[in-house]
Structure 1
Amino acid sequence: MTESQPNSVPPRRAGRLTILLATIAVLVVAGAAGIYGIGGLQRNAGGDPVCRPAVALAQQLKPLVRGEVAALTPAAAPLRLPDLTFADDGGQPKKLSDFRGRTVLVNLWATWCVPCRKEMPALDNLQAKLGSSDFEVVAINIDTRDPAKPKKFLDDEKLTHLSVFTDASAKVFQDLKAVGRALGMPTSVLIDREGCEIATINGPAEWDSNDATTLIKAAVKPVAGSSK
């Protein structure tokens, strides 16, 4: 009979020990990943400090997110929107930052998008009702083929209150998609005068309804000395 070595471990016990040690290692790694993951989320949730008032405003507006604008998602974390670039009716470059100092409703639309076309009259009426030095509807068309088509559509539908803004590259959609704010068409983002998100909606809304105008009036913070 061969004597067993004093420090040897029976095969079954060795197998169980290996599994136990492997399990502990996995739990330690998972725990560390969880800690660092939570820390990363907390850091990301901090956002741009300039946009914290926009989040506070969004929370105040929650009771008004109802009826025709019930699909709006109020901002839950500070987010300064990308400085979207597009062109005006004359082909001159424009940026979202050009509208700093006023609340804006950025809307992305296209003539090939049926819900977008149906929504445009309401956006035109909203601009007619509330458009001022404090608020503007910035409807940006992203047709990529016929540059004359967006203006022709607005003219044919007699939508005269909206300015013609276009981005034939559709980069504005990709820029908003990159920050999780464009999932389909139409997309609208209500933005405060610092360029920060107040609320977002993917899909159409009745923007000239009492629900919508009441919410937007509450969102607009007039600059001293400006006219309504």
Structure 2
Amino acid sequence: MTNDMPELPSPPRAAARRIPLAIGAALIAAAIGFAVVYGLGGLNRQTGDAACRPAVELARKLAPLAHGEVAALTMATAPLRLPDLAFEDAAGKPKKLSDWRGRTVLVNLWATWCVPCRKEMPALDSLQAKLGGPDFEVVAINIDTRDPGKPKNFLKEANLTRLGYFSDQKAKVFQDLKGIGRALGMPTSVLVDRQGCEIATIAGPAEWASDDAVKLIRAAMVPPG
């Protein structure tokens, strides 16, 4: 018997070889693209603001001092420049965080409705009395959104006279810090270097007038170099 079925032609060998090569090339290209998007993107996120790398190095050196009354401080591990927070002084004149460039700053957000904030204020006032000057300042920003006279009266009645009065009745400073993951509740404090870069952050109150806090902040005030 003979087979009357027509014989199908086999594909050329060169074409058969090209198929797996093309698939392999596509997979390699996809892998490279993935690395570019995720690998380099992740690198950029880790790199952050190059000007803030000294603040991370300073945080590393200060880490052994973050104990006792300031054990809750979270030291910076990646370069981060804070937003140029905008608020007002006691006379209603606009101020920005960049106005303190060249000084180490402890930015504190507080409100009269926040019980831990009120308890913390005397320690912040004492810290300002001990270290405040051309190299350091406590910038305590009130975010009461109602009755602007209430926080001023609180400071006066508590005889907290060393702190400058700063306020943001729209509480945008809280939202700005929340947007970079540095404000989750009240009070919030961020230790900032002379370039406006994060050194450390704490969520909640601290005994800022303690020897532990004063020693750490004195060390943070040492000019680089």
TM-score when normalising by structure 1: 0.83
Corresponding residue for residue 52 of structure 2: 51
Please state if 1:205 is matched with 2:188: no
CA drift at 1:37: 2.4
Corresponding residue for residue 109 of structure 1: 110
Corresponding residue for residue 9 of structure 1: none
Question: Which of the pair has more CA radius of gyration?
Answer: 2
Corresponding residue for residue 142 of structure 2: 141
1:26-75 CA-to-partner distances (Å, cap 9, x unmatched) read xx979965763232121111111111111110000010011110110111
Give the Cα–Cα distance (whole angstroms) in 1 for the partners of residues 47 and 120 of structure 2: 34
Corresponding residue for residue 195 of structure 1: 196
Name the CA shift for 1:102/1:83 in 2 (closer, same or farther; >3 Å): same
Corresponding residue for residue 71 of structure 1: 72
Q: CA RMSD in A?
A: 2.3
Secondary structure of 2:214 counterpart: helix
Corresponding residue for residue 38 of structure 1: 39
Q: Are the aligned partners of 1:207 and 1:213 in contact in 2 as well (CA < 8 Å)?
A: yes
State how 1:1-228 maps to structure 2 within 5 Å: 33=34, 36-222=37-223
TM-score when normalising by structure 2: 0.84
Give the Cα–Cα distance (whole angstroms) in 2 for the partners of residues 121 and 37 of structure 1: 47
| Counterpart residue identity of residue 49, structure 2 | D
Count, aligned residues? 204
| Counterpart residue identity of residue 135, structure 1 | F
| Counterpart residue identity of residue 182, structure 2 | R
Secondary structure of 1:146 counterpart: coil
1:176-220 CA-to-partner distances (Å, cap 9, x unmatched) read 111111111000000011111000011100000011000000000
Give the Cα–Cα distance (whole angstroms) in 1 for the partners of residues 64 and 180 of structure 2: 26
| Counterpart residue identity of residue 94, structure 2 | P
Secondary structure of 1:86 counterpart: strand
Runs of 5+ consecutive residues of structure 2 not aligned to the other structure: 9-26
Give the Cα–Cα distance (whole angstroms) in 2 for the partners of residues 38 and 199 of structure 1: 27
Corresponding residue for residue 22 of structure 1: none
Secondary structure of 1:177 counterpart: helix
Runs of 5+ consecutive residues of structure 1 not aligned to the other structure: 7-24, 224-228
1:153-178 CA-to-partner distances (Å, cap 9, x unmatched) read 10011001000000000000000111
